[in-house]
A and B are shown apart, each in its own frame.
Chain A
Amino acid sequence: MATTTPTGAAALPGPVRPSPRAARTRTRVVGLVAAVVLLAVALLLSLAVGARPVASADVVRVLVGLLPGGTAPAGVAPADVAAVVDLRLPRTVAAVVAGAGLGVAGAVVQAVTRNPLADPGILGVTAGSAFAVAIAVGFAGVTAASGWVWFSFAGAAVAAVAVSLIGGAGRSGGSPARLTLSGIALGAVLSGVTSSIVLADPRRFDAVRAWEVGSLADRGWGPVATVAPFVVAGIVVALLVSRPLDAVSLGDDHASSVGVSVPLVRVAALVVVTLLAGGATAVVGPVAFLGLMVAHAARGVVGASQPWTIGLSALLGPVLLLLADVLGRVVAPPGELAAGLVTAFIGAPVLVLVARRRTGGAR
């Protein structure tokens, strides 16, 4: 796996040069700041770009007007205000919440499975959520997002357990490629059934159909408002277990020897992935490859440290989903390409690259 030395050991050589540890911390802080800047840019783009382009200065003025004590901005067309506030603000916030959830879920799932190919979408977790939501809408008569969120969580949890049983049943925890394949097989079954359920009664599933392909359009505030607390809670738990996760990602034996309870960390990771992937899916639908890309990018910047990786993933996830959503709005006017399809387009090559690097030569 990662060959980086633990940060503690890196500080041992004498203080001749500026210590590698300080240099690394600087890289990490710079990375974090850069991610914040990127996020700001992505947010602005998401609010400004669309079928009705709005100048970014106007976007800022509209936003300032929304602050407590602010007034409606003069000189901005009411239609622009409506586009920004009523249409793009909810989907932007939805992208931030879902992106953060999927990004952190990707980092956690990669650490706990020690699998560089892992991602909540690729492992079938989001497909499990989507399946449960289809059941909720189709058979339990749930129509409001606040109701189907619970199904989404349950589906994510069941799928996560199932895929780890199928793919990791061997004592070694299964090889990365095997676990990945299990997730894809399970995801195929679940998404096939989901599509069948949706197609069987198109009218009832009007609300679900766009959602099924991972689109952020016309989402409104409902799902985001319901899900946001859970996603925040999931990220907090992820940060709390990030140090033990560091130990687990170096191997079960190593973790036990430094006094980390491996089963406990696994359960915590399952809870985190359920909250984050289930929550994100309830908002945006089954989106794959986002967590994969984000976790790899974050680790590439900050090195092998779970707290930093998770923190940076929470910033980069929204950046990527926002940009994917913006791109989806402009590539096929007057239609929109679902954000989930854009992330697949960008993320699939990452999967190919990682698979080339990590699954060894033809020995």
Chain B
Amino acid sequence: MSALRPDDRLRPRADAGADSGAGAGAGAGRLARLRPRSRRAAATALLALVAVIVAVVALGLGDYPLSPPEVLRALLGGDGFASTIVLQWRLPRVLAALLFGAALGASGAVFQSLTRNPLGSPDVIGFSTGAYTGAILVIVSGAASTIGTAAGALAGGLVTALVVYLLAWRRGVHGLRLIIVGIGVTALLHSVNSWLLLRAQAEVALSASFWGAGSLALVGWSELAPAAVLIAVLAVLVTGLARPLRQLELGDDAARAHGLRAEGSRLALVVVGVALTAVVTASTGPIVFVALAAPQLARRVVRSAGVPLVAAALVGGLLLLVADVVAQHVATSPVPVGLVTLVIGGLYLVSLLVAESRRTR
């Protein structure tokens, strides 16, 4: 039986895509070769600009529609009613989408770099579901505070990460095995979560099961603020770890040659990566596939060989914001954003597999 190694398969393709892209148009190609850094910066800035524009549009959507200029005026504290709507009702949700999406995107980037596998993101390998289990345990035990729930989610995510890696370990972590093991653990934890919710008192279960599919509907300023502080701290940590991450991407030996303590750096990255997912999950419930798709899309946008952290965060924020707009306004009645990302991400995964099988034929 031939065991495929997607980590070897999918990776050269992405790099090859970048190469062929660079070689396609002579002018653009030369530009890309000459000044990759400034090109990447330009692409990243463009992403940020798009995110701002989409956010302004999203702030205007709803039962009380506002045009972008009206939104801007309301943001600056213009007329009373529109300001209330935008600042009190819509802004926390839009900011939450951007911020949480960015955290998920960065988390996905960290894990995809560490596992050197486009599918090695926390939602596919079960950390999100494990974080949710931890959060439910805290909520059900009655000690629910934002920090407590986040801590529970972090613990759940870390334990799940450990278990998945141990189970997938057999003379190294083989990419597809890691994913299948993660999927199994996800399914198992999903039943556990349902069981916990079923046993809990009705009203507790209601609030917990509301974010069973991951929803931003309950996020207001008071929920957003502590999560934002945590994410900011984690963002600083990730930035500090960006260089070791890049070196680990080249392999442990290369990293050690640069004087890096490979195991220590990897452990720190795993903890920060799980923490990013856990904070989001504690506030919204498991939102899947943003962490999977954002780094890969970002990589295509900025044509980088590795997984670009900042761009991945920006794409993640953008993805979740768009998904939330779809969740709120496209269906006949609002659905949890987690379902929208599930569908988008599933389609993305299917297209990934189709593209791969076409190439290998």
Contact = CB atoms under 8 A, between A and B. Distances in A.
Nearest to A190: B346
A169 B3 CA distance: 16
Contacts, number: 166
B259 interface: no
B3 A341 contact: no
Interface stretch (B18-26, B169-177, B246-254, B263-271): B169-177
A192 B177 contact: no
Contacts of A289: 187
Interface in A343-359: 344-345, 347-349, 351-352, 355-356, 358-359
Interface string A181-200: 11011111111110110011
Interface string B280-321: 000000001100000000000000000000000000000000
Interface string A15-42: 0000000000000000000000000000
Tell me if B's interface is mostly helix, strand, loop or mixed: helix
Q: How many A residues are at the interface, by size bracket?
A: 35 or more
Given A200-B331, A351-B187, A362-B172, A166 B339 contact: no
Contacts of A351: 180, 183-184, 187
A341 B353 contact: no
A243 interface: no
B335 A196 contact: yes
Contacts of A361: 170-172, 174
B102 interface: no
A345 B332 CA distance: 34
A337 interface: yes
Interface core residue of B180, B186, B195, B361 (most chain A CB under 10 Å): B180
B91 interface: no
B3 A175 contact: yes
A41 B288 CA distance: 41
Nearest to A288: B187
A175 B173 contact: no
B132 to A, nearest CB: 15
Contact of B198 (A188, A201, A337, A348): A337
B312 to A, nearest CB: 21
A192 B176 contact: no
A345 B133 CA distance: 14
A171 B198 CA distance: 46
B1 A181 contact: no
B195 to A, nearest CB: 5
Interface string A55-73: 0000000000000000000
Nearest to A333: B199
Given A169-B354, A201-B333, 8 more contacts: A166-B357, A178-B6, A182-B350, A185-B350, A188-B349, A189-B343, A196-B343, A335-B198
24 contacts: A169-B354, A175-B176, A178-B353, A180-B183, A181-B353, A182-B350, A185-B350, A188-B288, A188-B342, A188-B343, A188-B349, A189-B342, A192-B343, A196-B331, A199-B335, A288-B187, A332-B199, A351-B187, A352-B181, A352-B185, A359-B3, A359-B180, A360-B174, A362-B174
Interface of B: 1-4, 6, 119, 167-168, 170-174, 176-177, 179-181, 183-188, 190-192, 194-195, 198-199, 213, 288-289, 331-333, 335-336, 339-340, 342-343, 345-347, 349-350, 353-354, 357-358, 360-361
